[in-house]
Amino acid sequence: MGRNITLDYFKFVLSILVITIHFKLLYEPGLAYWLVSEGVARMAVPCFFIINGYYFAPKLGDWKAVRKYLLHLLVIYTTWFIIYLRPYYKLDHLSIFTNVGLDALLKEYFFGFFHLWYLPAAIVGIALLVLLKKTLRKDIILLVLAFILFVAGYFIEYVRDINYHYARNGLFIGFPFVMLGYYIRVKQLHEKIKKEHLYILCSLGFLCLIAESYIGYGTMFIRDLYVSLIVVCPSAFMLVLALSKYSTSDSKLQLYFSQLPSAIYFVHMYVLFRVWAGRGETVIPLLEFILIVFLSILASFVIIFINKRIKIFL
């Protein structure tokens, strides 16, 4: 069938949305920007989990393929964990032999630095899918369990205090959305649900997402989980699949572009740290955002080039 170029474009947009979430670290967000960074952009990571589940589904019955896939994710995660070690800690002498260094390293490695939480959450989510599929077997039971865990995570966020790890992990976000991706694949829902219905679901979910983020603006309470995500993310993904165009071309540009979203996701915070560290008070926010996106794309091409030879980054 060839490569799904529509999905590649979709993932690229998602990766840019992730940058908008973290860009607000530089400025106090107004309402319009809040609705983007804490509304629309919150679709990005759940959609990535759904994509993971969708493409992982064919591997589920093959233990060798499962082990290879999880090991690959672990290698990628460990690589980026090491890369981000100093920027996150900002310590010149982080010693694993001190209580502070060792405790912090173990905790952060288990949950993930800032945006890197996505990888351990994906590993846990996929591992749970594999284990639960062997015990519970019926997909509908797994789907109900995924929904229950998602709802539990939603309410846990209200009492998380400052610790994002309570809800932002593989149990409450990773597994539910990975399961959705898996379920869409095995049931071929994108082919069974009419496009008109997907448009309606996607639109309603999107409006609810904006409404939920607007409510959060009053208190500036940052959330990873909105109720509407359980509707808008799978419906948006299925709509992309339903509208997909494929290419059989193996051009270098297309192969680079297919890996660009992942590279942008992983490298953009490093760019953000460097730009943030050197920014002046007179910088125009929009121009700085464009600069961060541009530099992230440039850095991503370097990462993709290196990864062709040392496959530990993507």
Q: Where are the domains of the chain?
A: 3-307
**Token pair 């590279």: residue:** 263
Q: What is the pLDDT of residues 62-94, one digit of tens each?
A: 999 999 999 999 999 999 999 988 766 654 444
Nearest Cα residue to 96 out of 84, 112, 85: 85
Q: Which two tokens stand for residue 20?
A: 């908008």
SS3 state of residue 247: strand
**Whole-number pLDDT of residue 272:** 87
> What are 4's strand-pairing partners?
246
Asked if 240 and 10 touch (Cβ cutoff 8 Å), the reply is: yes
**Whole-number pLDDT of residue 98:** 43
Q: Which residues of the chain have pLDDT under 70?
A: 1, 87-104, 160-162, 277-283
Give whole-number Cα distances, 255 to 4, 49, 54, 248, in Å: 11, 21, 20, 11
Rounded distance between C-alpha atoms, residue 111 and residue 171, angstroms: 11
CB atoms closer than 10 angstroms to residue 97: 6
Give whole-number Cα distances, 209 to 37, 96, 116, in Å: 12, 42, 24
State how far Cα 28 lies from the chain centre: 23
Q: Residue 3 has what DSSP assignment?
A: E
**Whole-number pLDDT of residue 99:** 44
Rounded distance between C-alpha atoms, residue 89 and residue 3, angstroms: 40
Rounded distance between C-alpha atoms, residue 169 and residue 9, angstroms: 26
**Whole-number pLDDT of residue 297:** 96
CB atoms closer than 10 angstroms to residue 279: 12
Asked if 81 and 116 touch (Cβ cutoff 8 Å), the reply is: yes
Rounded distance between C-alpha atoms, residue 169 and residue 278, angstroms: 32
SS3 state of residue 147: helix
**Whole-number pLDDT of residue 100:** 46
State how far Cα 125 lies from the chain centre: 12
Q: What is the pLDDT of residues 224-280, one digit of tens each?
A: 999 999 999 999 999 999 999 988 777 777 888 899 999 999 999 999 887 776 565
**Whole-number pLDDT of residue 166:** 84
Nearest Cα residue to 121 out of 33, 49, 227, 25: 49
**Whole-number pLDDT of residue 94:** 44
**Whole-number pLDDT of residue 252:** 76
- Phi-psi bin for 220: left (phi > 0), alpha (psi -120 to 50), beta? left
